[in-house]
Amino acid sequence: MQLEIVNISGKKTAKKADLVDSIYAAEPNDHCIYLDVKSFLANQRQGTHKSKERAEIARTTKKLKRQKGTGGARAGSMKSPLFIGGGRVFGPRPRDYSFKLNKKVKALARISALTYKAKDNAITVLEDFNFEAPKTKNYADLLKNLNLDTKKTLLVLGDTNKNVYLSSRNLQGTKVVKASDLNTYDILHAENLILSESSVKVIETILNK
């Protein structure tokens, strides 16, 4: 599969990018996508939720009423979950939500997501570029030239580029990542994928191991 490479002005160059079929035209595996996205979202959770249980509530330990003869149920403590302000029964405790996922499953999930983007013609290959200084207007103009200013986009760079990253940070619906940090969730979350020329080879190297 070949795509024409465009420059930051949105004009086609004489170069073409070879997108290998083993990554961009593979047989998608929806279950792997599900597992990888679930794992990614689980890893974002802090898991610091906590409610006080009966043993942790600071209330009087005085017996409220006599044991028998009141016509009601026995009550021995205001800490009981039955009373307002009492401890919570089986409340949330701090925990780690992350779970292990095999490397091959993660790789197949990314390949499946990239295949779906290729099928939808939602991939643009961009000539390598750099900004002299961080400036949001430069990145906004770039998206406008590519006719992607109204869509959620994910720009994948071959390597870290601080000026490009800082230029995109204030724009809604845009994200910039390194090819080595590319994940299934970000691919699917974006409407259009912008691959820098150098990132194509990096992605190929990582996913074809």
Provide the sign of the torsion angle of the four alpha carbons 162, 43, 156, 172, taken in this order: negative
Amino acid at 159: D
Amino acid at 98: S
In the DSSP assignment, the letter for residue 177 is E
Distance between CA atoms of 25 and 122, rounded to whole angstroms? 13
Distance between CA atoms of 132 and 162, rounded to whole angstroms? 10
pLDDT at residue 202, as a whole number? 93
pLDDT at residue 145, as a whole number? 93
User: What are the residue ranges spanned by the domains of the chain?
Assistant: 2-46+97-207, 51-91
Give the pLDDT means over successive 10-residue stretches in the chain (209 positions).
88 89 93 97 94 91 89 90 91 94 95 95 92 93 92 93 93 93 95 93 89
pLDDT at residue 61, as a whole number? 83
Architecture of the domain delimited by 2-46+97-207: 3-Layer(aba) Sandwich (3.40)
pLDDT at residue 47, as a whole number? 93
Distance between CA atoms of 193 and 138, rounded to whole angstroms? 18
How many distinct helices (H) and strands (E) make up the chain?
Answer: 7, 6
